[in-house]
Structure 1
């Protein structure tokens, strides 16, 4: 399985009233890393034919990140079935290695013209193995 990772600094805008990263920001990072992985692995021609939408997020929050932390966000595709792709995202504190968030998201592949579900092509599956 191909893993894609990126680090992000925690900024003031990421915080909530408790001065730790807001849960919504974690969801944004999950979606951002997923999109970046897709773009890094595919060509514009592939992306012009198909789009992904979220069917389900399952997120477990374990620890908090605070201002000044740097986090590492990693993702990989766990598997596919029909039009569905199961993507795992792990967010860690880059300095301590502590896991902050584990997420498992079901993404549904749609035809870019009809917006109807489309089976994940084997060629696309192979890009992430």
Structure 2
């Protein structure tokens, strides 16, 4: 794949029949689910799963999605979603870049940027990242990023 940045975390995806909408292609809401799944898989690979979030009473919650849908995906397409942590302030916010490509021709179907904010799960209010978030998410920060 011709990735936008080096060393992505990737997730293989196969477009299923129930991903398809009335227009005959993968529905835009399905792409959002793929973004979430890819981000979670990356977080888990860095040692921060849901059990850690609950234990720490902290989570990285979506503040903003910016999505450019560049081409459609169809039933049976084999795709690869890539993500990178491209920016963080080591306090409250972290930004991921995503790129979705079709395997058979390498075409980029989507580019997205998601901003996350650290929240306290029990209150839903913004709270500083605990030190383990800084340590573990720091391992996923791309070399092309802005620290």
Normalization by structure 1: what TM-score? 0.89
8 Å Cα contact 2:59/2:118 also seen in 1: yes
1:119 maps to which residue? 128
SS in 2 for 1:117: coil
8 Å Cα contact 1:7/1:71 also seen in 2: yes
8 Å Cα contact 1:55/1:107 also seen in 2: yes
8 Å Cα contact 2:46/2:137 also seen in 1: no
8 Å Cα contact 2:48/2:136 also seen in 1: no
2:64 maps to which residue? 56
1:13 maps to which residue? 18
1:105 maps to which residue? 114
RMSD, matched Cα? 1.9
1:65 maps to which residue? 73
Normalization by structure 2: what TM-score? 0.79
Query: How many residue pairs were aligned?
Result: 129
Structure 1 runs not aligned, ≥5 long: none
Structure 2 runs not aligned, ≥5 long: 1-5, 142-147
1:36-75 Cα distance to aligned partner (Å, 9 max, x none): 1111212457432121211000000000011111010010
